[in-house]
Amino acid sequence: MSNSSRMRSIFRRKTSRALDKLDDPREALDESYDQQVRMLQQVRQGLAEVATAKKRIELQGQEMGLRYQRLANQARDAMEQGREDLARAALERRALLEGQVVALRDQFSALQQQTARLQDNERRLAERVAAFRIEKETIKATYTASEAQVKANEAVAGIGSQMNDVGSSLARARDRVAQMQARAAATDDLLTSGALQDLTAAPDADLERQLSEVTTKADVERQLQAMKATGAPDRSQPNPPREGPDAWLSIGGAQSGA
């Protein structure tokens, strides 16, 4: 495989991984779950704000109720002391305060209804988020298991981009081995035939080798002729081979003596 082909293969693998990441349903499910959690947090924050406003109105209404009762007591005390003018002023203030209390009570009632609706919405949304989380984790686990099974099946079947790269690598390795074996056999033949010269050998080494081969052949022929003539091995050597553990020391003695 050329460098350009290898680069294209790497680019395809990276592009495929990027697309798989974009199409991964697990990330889409997590994003949807996060959005629902944020919505639930917003509902709870709104519920807390409404509850705070309702509590503030409740405290204000309690304070106005105490003042309303106090004005009634002041008006009665003023009448007992013969101060009709003071009693009239207390009752007028009490009447004005009564209108304010009625408006505040209506606002408090509206906040109670709004709180009840928000609480109901918060409960239903929390149940939906919890159910979605369970389903999300189930789908993610199923997808992960299926993905692992697909990879395992592709590995066993020898398919897929990675296995294709492995197959290409094996094919290239086999081609290189075959080429190297053929080259080794060819150079052996060339060296044997003398077509290639050993540059590290001494001068005239090839001539000496050929002369040695001729001498060896002539010596073999001489021994064969002697054996044919006498029916026994040639004993004419000045130093026949010895016997025993050191017999190997006498091998070739005749040639060295010559």
Task: Dump pLDDT digits (tens) for 202-229.
Answer: 666 666 777 788 888 888 888 888 888 8
Q: Where is pLDDT greater, at 1 or 56?
A: 56
Q: Where is pLDDT greater, at 41 or 249?
A: 41
Q: What is the pLDDT of residue 161?
A: 56
Give the integer Cα–Cα distance in Å for 77 and 70.
10
Query: Which residue reads 């209804």 in tokens?
Result: 113
Q: Is the pLDDT of residue 108 over 70?
A: yes
Question: Can you list the alpha helix ranges (DSSP code H) found in the chain?
Answer: 3-22, 25-80, 84-157, 161-193, 205-230, 253-257
> What's the chain's average pLDDT?
78
Distance of CA 94 to CAs 72, 98, 99, 105, Å? 7, 6, 9, 16
Q: Is 196 among the domain residues?
A: no
For 128-156, write each residue's pLDDT tens digit: 999 999 998 998 888 888 888 887 877 77
Q: Is 71 among the domain residues?
A: yes
Q: CA angle 132-135-138, nearest 5°?
A: 150
CB atoms < 10 A from the CB of 139, how many?
13
Q: Is 194 among the domain residues?
A: no
Give the integer Cα–Cα distance in Å for 63 and 46.
26
Determine the average pLDDT of the residues in 61-72.
Answer: 90
Q: Is 174 among the domain residues?
A: no
Q: Which domain holds residue 7?
A: 3-157
Per-residue DSSP letters for 163-219? HHHHHHHHHHHHHHHHHHHHHHHHHHHHHHHTSS--TTSPTTHHHHHHHHHHHHHHH
Model confidence at 19, pLDDT cuts 50, 70, 90, reads very low
Q: What percent of the chain clears pLDDT 90, i.e. is strictly above it?
A: 17
> In the chain, how many domains are there?
1
pTM (two decimals): 0.47
CB contact at 8 A, 190 and 196: yes
Q: Is 197 among the domain residues?
A: no
We report the CATH number of the domain holding residue 130 as 1.10.287
For 47-56, write each residue's pLDDT tens digit: 999 999 999 9
Q: Is 97 among the domain residues?
A: yes
Q: Is 200 among the domain residues?
A: no
Q: Is 251 among the domain residues?
A: no
